[in-house]
Every structure is written in C-alpha cells, then in structure tokens.
C-alpha cells in the first residue's frame, strides 16, 4: 500500500513534467469503474480464515473484469499480466507467501512473528511447501518504503503509472475549425437564406 501512495503521485509529477494536465484524466473512456473499485475494496475486507482467502480471490475476478474491458487503454496490458501473476501464486498457495529475505531486507523483520502466527490471513511466511515462490512477495524495497512486493505488483504499478502519464498527456478531440463544428443543417440553409435576402 505504501508503494501505491508513492507511485501514483510520482506518475502525476511525471505527467506534469511531460506537459500533461491532471484534468485530462476525466477525458479517458474508462469502462466499468465499479468493478475495479469493488475489487480493490474486497482486498481490504477485514475477514480472516478461509473466507478472507475467498474474498481475496474474488477481488481478483472483479479486477480482471475491469482491466479486461479497458485493455486497450495505455498500461492495462501490464496491469493484466501483473494481476494474473499475483492471482496464480495466491490461488495455489492459499494466500501470498512472503520470503524471510524480503522482510528483513525491507526493514520489516518485526513482522515475522505475525506471519508465523497467522495474524495476517492473506499473507504467510514462505516455506518449502509453497510453490512459485519467485512470483511471491520476494522483492524487498528498503526504507523509507519498507515493503516486500512481487513481480506482479511491480508490473501492476508500472502499468498504472503508464496509464496516468499517458492519460494526462491526452487531449479531448477538437473540431478542425469552426465550420466543422457547425451543424450540417445550418450549413445547408446558409446559402439559401443569403440568396433570399439578396433578392429582396
């Protein structure tokens, strides 16, 4: 979560430096936003045990729908790949494994006991029984961020940043000139009205 709070403002800053405007995000034809918001909300649902795991898996289904229908927008191909990688490793391991190295290298050694005890039902300390651990939260980001992330997380964040930057630089389509914006009926009636006025 801390990395999200850094990447989005960073993307906005880059967007401004590239000559973009934050208001241009409103021009992006983003489809099914409710599905995306539902997926994000489910990931933070305070439910433990099997129910928490099921909600976590369900959240990815909502996110897949939102990313899928918007796949032609900039960055969403990366977001889809990142979501898929996280979904696979979480599903086969019934939660996201976190490696001991990633925790200690990111300055979070104090959370080892919580993962061992099962206090965090959506994450657990990686063990020999876990599969595809290289796709798990195995990448440490040191202080001040202090977070262990997965390859899927990095791809998702990169896609989100690319989307924000490109969207800020986009512009709403504008008519070529005043005549192009005029109503066709007005253009057809103009010469007739003019000839009538001249004959009178």
- Residue 185, pLDDT above cutoff 60: no
Q: What is the mean pLDDT of the chain?
A: 84
Rounded average pLDDT over 147-166:
95
Residues 93-111: tens digit of each pLDDT: 988 999 999 999 999 888 8
Residue 174: predicted pLDDT:
42
In DSSP notation, the chain reads: -HHHHHHHHHHHHHHHHTT--GGGGGGS----HHHHHHHHHHHT----HHHHHHHHHHHHHHHHHHHHHTTTSTTHHHHHHHHHHHHHHHHHHTSEEE-HHHHHHTT-GGGHHHHHHT-STTEEE--TT-S-GGGSB-EEE-TTT-EEE-HHHHHHHHHHHHHHHHHHH------SSHHHHS-HHHHHHHHHHHHHHHH-
**pLDDT tens readout for residues 20-50:** 999 999 889 989 999 999 998 988 887 777 7
Higher pLDDT: 90 or 181? It is 90
**Is pLDDT at 51 greater than 60 in this prediction?**
yes
């Amino acid at each position: 979560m801390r990395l999200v709070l850094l990447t989005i403002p960073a993307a906005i800053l880059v967007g401004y430096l590239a000559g973009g405007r934050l208001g241009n995000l409103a021009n992006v034809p983003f489809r099914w936003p409710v599905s995306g918001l539902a997926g994000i909300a489910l990931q933070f649902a305070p439910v433990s045990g099997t129910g928490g795991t099921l909600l976590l898996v369900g959240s990815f289904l909502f996110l897949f729908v939102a990313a899928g229908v918007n796949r032609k927008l900039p960055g969403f191909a990366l977001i889809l790949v990142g979501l898929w990688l996280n979904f696979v490793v979480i599903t086969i391991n019934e939660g996201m494994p976190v490696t001991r190295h990633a925790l200690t290298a990111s300055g979070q050694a104090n959370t080892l006991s919580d993962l061992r005890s099962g206090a965090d039902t959506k994450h657990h300390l990686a063990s020999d029984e876990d599969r595809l651990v290289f796709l798990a939260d195995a990448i440490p980001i040191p202080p001040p961020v202090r977070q262990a992330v997965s390859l899927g997380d990095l791809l998702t964040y990169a896609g989100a940043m690319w989307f924000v930057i490109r969207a800020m630089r986009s512009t709403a389509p504008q008519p070529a000139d005043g005549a192009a914006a005029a109503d066709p009926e007005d253009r057809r009636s103009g010469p007739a009205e003019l000839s009538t006025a001249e004959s009178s």
